Amino acid sequence: MYEGRVYQGQDLFDRRTSLIQYRDLFNSFPEVTFPISVLTSGQNQELVAYSWDLPNVVPNGHWWYSNIPAYIRRDLGERLQAVPKTK
């Protein structure tokens, strides 16, 4: 897909990604607020869990490829229901 047009297909979703690779960073700097945006609704569920558990992780924005009202509604609904109101 996109061979020869977009450098190495860097604009494509990759479901192998996870926030777990950043856990040491989040835990090492508790005084730093990390505003995180994710690519997919599956990743949104993970972000909601991190935001629930870690005071310095905050959901932020919505990736433009997922800028579809139905996706935004669902993802924001998950965030509003689960993420602490202080965030």
In this predicted model, what pLDDT tens digit does every residue of 8-63 receive, in sequence order? 555 556 667 789 999 999 999 999 999 998 878 888 889 999 999 999 999 997 76
pLDDT of residue 65: 65
pLDDT of residue 1: 47
pLDDT of residue 39: 79
Instruction: Please check the confidence at residue 2 and state whether its pLDDT lies above 60.
Output: no
For the chain, the domains span: 18-82
Alpha carbon distance 43, 21 (integer Å)? 13
Buried b (16+ CB within 10 A) or exposed e, 64-77: eebeeeebeeebee
